[in-house]
Amino acid sequence: MFFQLKKNVSDANKLLETNQLVTLTWGNVSEIDKDLNVIGIKPSGIPYSQLKPEHIVIVNLDGQIIDGDLNPSSDLETHLYLYNKFPTIKGITHTHSSYATSFAQSGISIPPLGTTHADHFYGSIPITRKLSDNEILYNYERNTGRVIYEIFSDLNIMPQDIPGVLVNQHGPFTWGKSALDSLENAIALEEVAKMTFNAKLLSNNFEAINQTLLDKHFLRKNGARATY
């Protein structure tokens, strides 16, 4: 059962490694089936190269295991929280990719310096606040989702407009219309982070692109009036 969902999730997780987004087992991808109200997610601790569709863990929206012999990724509660609060998204990718995580560890957001950024993210990629001691001690993974939701609420950002975030002192989460789409946003985020890192070192005078260029690039690829 759930064969297509398991295959989508397995394929996207294996692409984490192919695209050099993960070291050891530091990353996971999930996808939600909106008809069946179940989520497929990577099991904990399995190397990507050995991962097969039958390893994917199927859980319901409360996180109870419906199908699968392995433990789900320890980040499951973060995924569940985001699927609940961001009903338009259908896939989530979490990595510790080098450049995006470097920004997360520096506590700074990634401004849109060029059209590469604008093709995927409709503005700065935000950074969450740090979690409080209590938020770390109790329901840590769920609270990781909470600070993500909080920054999107505070800044009044729609999750489909900026499909990614940096969790302070932790790393990036991205999402999208499917497991694969969230993975492609993780690839884009890492590359954008690398180029913004380089631009910051090259010059202190760089500036974000203006709204017109941001509109041009983001809206032709995304949203209601997308032309491709």
93 membership: H or E segment, kind and range: strand 91-95
30 residue type, one letter: S
Q: Which of 66, 105, 142, 219 binds its own copies (CB under 8 A)?
A: 105
Q: Which of 11, 33, 67, 119 is catalytic?
A: 119
The window from 3-11, 53-61, 83-91, 104-112 that contacts its own copies (CB under 8 A) reads 104-112
**Angle 77-80-86 from CA coordinates, rounded to 5°:** 135
The 10 Å Cβ neighbour count of residue 219 is: 15
Q: Are 28 and 13 in contact (CB under 8 A)?
A: yes
Q: Are 47 and 25 in contact (CB under 8 A)?
A: yes
Q: Which of 80, 104, 151, 162 binds its own copies (CB under 8 A)?
A: 104
Round to whole Å and give the CA distance between 141 and 76.
Answer: 8
Q: Is 75 a catalytic residue?
A: no
Establish if 26 lies at the interface with its own copies (CB under 8 A): yes
Q: Is 69 a catalytic residue?
A: no
Residues 33-62 that bind its own copies (CB under 8 A): 44-45
Q: Are 91 and 183 in contact (CB under 8 A)?
A: yes
41 membership: H or E segment, kind and range: strand 38-41
Residues 127-186 that bind its own copies (CB under 8 A): 131, 133, 136-137, 140, 169-171, 184
Nearer residue to its own copies within complex by CB, 2 or 174: 174
Q: How far is the CB of 203 from its own copies (least distance, A)?
A: 4
The terminus-to-terminus CA distance of the chain in angstroms comes to 34
For its own copies, the binding residues (CB under 8 A) are 23-24, 26, 44-45, 71, 74, 96, 98-99, 101-108, 113-116, 119, 131, 133, 136-137, 140, 169-171, 184, 187-188, 191, 194-203, 205-207, 209-210, 212-213, 216, 220, 227-228
Residue numbers annotated as active site: 119, 228
